[in-house]
Amino acid sequence: MLKARLDALLLCGFRPFFLFAAAWGALALAAWLAALGGALGLPEVAGGAVLWHAHEMVLGFGGAALLGFLLTAVPEFTASAAVPRTQVAGLAALWLAARAGYLVGGTAGQWLAAVAECALLAGALTVAAPRLWRDPARRHLAFLWGLAALLACTAGFHAAALGGGAPLPWLHAAVGVMMAFIVVALSRISMRVVNAALEERGDTAAEYLARPPRRNLAIFCIVLHAAAELAGTTLGAPAAPVAGWIALAAAAALLNLTSDWHLGRVLFARWVFMLYLVYWLMAAGYLLLGLSALGVALPPSAGRHLLMAGGMGLSIFAVMNIAGRIHAGVEPERGTWVPLAAAMLVAAALLRAATGLLPQSAMALFAASGALWIAVFALHFARAWPLLSRPRRDGQAGCAGVAEDRL
């Protein structure tokens, strides 16, 4: 039984990593809330409890979801073989080792986390790079550059933490890389989701296209903002006003992306609207970051949490429920709990962003936001575990999509 479970979990890269993301997204935030309430002491790491929380949500939760997507999408996009079980197992072990190191804390634990986390991303690069480069059209090299940038941010974070420097700016830069990844990934996913919804509604006159100029402009602004912030905090450059204006440009570029989606009532189809909201949450996050950097009395944490809890949280939830089910051989979830859970994530992001604006109610807002987030990802894990920890039952192999006769 145990061997069958393990074989099923390693069948495709998204299986262990999507489960890691859901479980750790709930557990790590529960630990953070318990620490804020004085009921739990978090591990001793450079930068303290705040840095532990930020690291585990960005590189633990977010990193697991990103790797689950890439290990499944890259073979599909490049028409290459699925990632072998041994490589999936090795990468999963490195992710677990990084979490264990950061839970132990102290110098030894941080060294373990640093080595494991950098090895994890380097290993993912080793798996993905040849496939992406051999693709004759090389249409998906953005994933390669994104992985390399995330590895650089991770290495910079650990070097600063172990060397007594300032590690938090490197996490902020990693958030920027994640936002760029989301734009790249959603452009691929939304082409299928929106056009499938149009077809289902019988609307053959309209077609959704994720137009490269708009997408590339948004990615450029996001990356430039991350670079400007990093330069301003690590090099001491007077970059705050510059980063502020670039953040506003990123917000405008993200809103410009949404015009591709305005194709009538199909916008309000379940998965279409959920993915559409991701861009609005990201745009709102960059808007608040820009205004804060330009001197408006807004805490930058409000913008960052709209990006993380809103943009990243909602996009990960949507992708896990779409790709995580399709590549397990079943159709995307149709239950009413999905839009309810999405609404809970949006509410969690808005409540968390409000903590800096309403300091007198901060603890109540923290608790409400955290409870909503934990409930969503705990529920997702409970529903995904029976599906992803068992062999496929549709006669398809590996990471293949839903069988034709089940569509």
Structure tokens at 283: 């745009």
Residue type for position 179: M
Task: Note whether 346 and 312 are within 8 A (CB).
Answer: no
CA distance 232 to 237: 4
* Inside any domain, residue 250: yes
- Looking at residue 393, its pLDDT comes to 79
Task: Note whether 127 and 71 are within 8 A (CB).
Answer: yes
Examine the pLDDT at 399 and tell me if it is beyond 80: yes
* Inside any domain, residue 178: yes
* Inside any domain, residue 59: yes
**Burial of 335 from C-beta contacts in 10 A (0-12 / 13-18 / 19+):** exposed
Q: Is 143 helix (H, G, I), strand (E, B) or coil?
A: helix
Average pLDDT (182-188) is: 94
Within 8 A by CB and 6+ apart from 334, the residues are: none
Q: What is the DSSP letter of 284?
A: H
Structure tokens at 370: 């955290």
The pLDDT confidence band at residue 405, using thresholds 50, 70 and 90, is very low
Which of residues 298 and 23 earns the better pLDDT score?
Answer: 23
CA angle 144, 51, 174 (to 5 degrees): 20
Task: Quote the domain boundaries for residue 25.
Answer: 2-391
- Looking at residue 234, its pLDDT comes to 64
CA distance 375 to 33: 13
* Inside any domain, residue 404: no
Structure tokens at 257: 């992306």
Q: pLDDT tens digit string along 73-128?
A: 999 999 888 999 999 999 999 999 999 999 998 889 999 999 999 999 999 999 99
* Inside any domain, residue 85: yes
* Inside any domain, residue 401: no
User: How many domains does the structure of the chain reveal?
Assistant: 1
Residues constituting the chain: 407
Identify the CATH number of the domain in which residue 106 sits: 1.20.210.10
Q: pLDDT tens digit string along 302-313?
A: 999 999 999 999
* Inside any domain, residue 406: no
Q: pLDDT tens digit string along 34-61?
A: 998 888 888 888 888 899 999 999 999 9
Provide the b/e sequence for 158-180 (b: ≥16 CB within 10 Å): bebbeeeeebbbbbbbbbbbbbb
Angle between helices 106-134 and 85-104 (to 10 degrees): 150
Q: pLDDT tens digit string along 145-161?
A: 999 999 999 999 999 99
Examine the pLDDT at 63 and tell me if it is beyond 90: yes
* Inside any domain, residue 46: yes
Helix (H) or strand (E) holding 148: helix 141-163
Strands (E), 249-404: none
Structure tokens at 321: 């429920």
